[in-house]
């Protein structure tokens, strides 16, 4: 039993030493690296999502600005049409003459 514990301790110390060496030389990328998306890819995805949402926000602001502009143009047109037709002389209009009444 004492021999098995001794072998286990040596194996553990060898494993710890190997991991320390790998960490020291920076060769753990493939061995202990992340599974799934790499950090650079994750950052690129996040930036892409942020750009997409910024574009959508910009387009929404443009639509709102255009609608506001169109609304003000309609209001201006209505006011100018009213002011041009408010003082219209209705008595100067030609009236149809009914031939039967002549």
What is the rounded average pLDDT of the residues 33-61?
83
Determine the Cα–Cα distance for residues 18 and 90; give it in Å rounded to an integer.
103
pLDDT confidence of residue 39: 76
Lowest mean pLDDT: which of 7-11, 50-54, 74-78, 95-99? 95-99
At residue 41, the 3 state secondary structure works out as: helix
For 80-90, the pLDDT digits (tens) are 877 766 665 55
b/e sequence 3-40, b meaning 16+ C-beta within 10 Å: eeeeeeeeeeeeeeeeeeeeeeeeeeeeeeeeeeeeee
Question: For the purposes of burial, counting CB atoms within 10 Å of the CB of 84, is it exposed (0-12), middle (13-18) or buried (19 or more)?
Answer: exposed
Q: How far is CA 84 from the centre of its chain?
A: 46
pLDDT confidence of residue 5: 77
Determine the Cα–Cα distance for residues 63 and 56; give it in Å rounded to an integer.
11
Mean pLDDT over all residues of the chain?
A: 78
Would the pTM count as exceeding 0.75?
no
């Amino acid at each position: 039993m004492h021999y098995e514990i001794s072998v286990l301790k040596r194996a553990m110390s060898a494993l710890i030493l190997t991991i320390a060496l790998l960490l020291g030389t920076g060769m753990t990328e493939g061995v202990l690296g992340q599974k799934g998306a790499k950090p650079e890819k994750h950052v690129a995805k996040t930036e892409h999502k942020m750009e997409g949402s910024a574009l959508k926000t910009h387009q929404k602001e443009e639509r709102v600005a255009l609608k506001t502009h169109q609304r003000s143009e309609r209001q201006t047109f209505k006011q100018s049409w009213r002011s041009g037709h408010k003082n219209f002389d209705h008595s100067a209009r030609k009236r149809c003459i009914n031939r039967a009444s002549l």
